[in-house]
Amino acid sequence: MLIRPEPDGSFIAIGQASHAWLSGQVARAWGNDRFGAVEPWEEVCLGAEQHDVGWIEWDLDPRIDPDTGRPHTFMSVPLPEKLALWSGAARKMLSQSRYAALLVSMHGTALYERWPPEDPDDKRLVQAFLDEQHALQSKLAEGLDTDQVRRNQRLIFAWDYISLALCLDWAPAEVKDVPTAREPVTLALTEQGELDPWPFRDERVELRAEGRRLEGSRFEDSPPITLDFVLRPRR
């Protein structure tokens, strides 16, 4: 769950699956001479829009954070529960696409490899999760181009961050180590929705996600709302 504070003091709850859907929209608009093509196209786009598939059931009935009185965000969910959600994510994708399942697993492990916990008990939990997922990834990656898979995992990481930045109004924001047709670059997102350098085919990209304007603490009982975003090249 993402919780977006609004200027009027209200909050919009955005399900992880809706945020991932936005990531998939970014993926399907991606690619030009500088940034290269996305390959294999359908599998990678599917992995992008399903990268948070493990959270779907949780978001339908989210636990309440006692510190805020609102649903737990993806950051505040207790670590054991969060790891359990990630552990089951790739398996949910296996009946659709082995390649997409591999990318979903790699996205989950990349988060904990990049931001490992400091607490010794948490470190042990995370290491057990990483060992389990790395073993699964080895099986799923058999016969695949590992360099291409790693490139696609980094793309999903970038698309995920762009979606989070839009949903949570993080701009100005930067996404580092974004693959291109040549050397990786840093993408800069401005408060005006401008991206530099420009990674898309078209000169304007329209995106949307769905959420709920929280009334009380229940997600399903809150009024639905559509969030619209427009990305343009930096002037």
Both tokens assigned to 54 = 């493990």
Q: What is the mean pLDDT of the chain?
A: 96
Which range marks the domain in which residue 113 is found? 2-233
In this prediction, residue 219 carries a pLDDT of 77
Both tokens assigned to 121 = 């008990």
CB of 180 within 8 A of CB of 154?
Answer: no
Summarize pLDDT for 146-192 with one digit per residue, the tens: 999 999 999 999 999 999 999 999 999 999 999 999 999 999 999 99
In this prediction, residue 6 carries a pLDDT of 94
pLDDT value at 215 more than 90 = no
DSSP conformation letters of 93-143 = HTTT-HHHHHHHHHHHHHHHHHS--SSHHHHHHHHHHHHHHHHHHHHHTTT
* Domain tally, the chain: 1
Rounded Cα–Cα distance for residues 71 and 86 (Å): 18
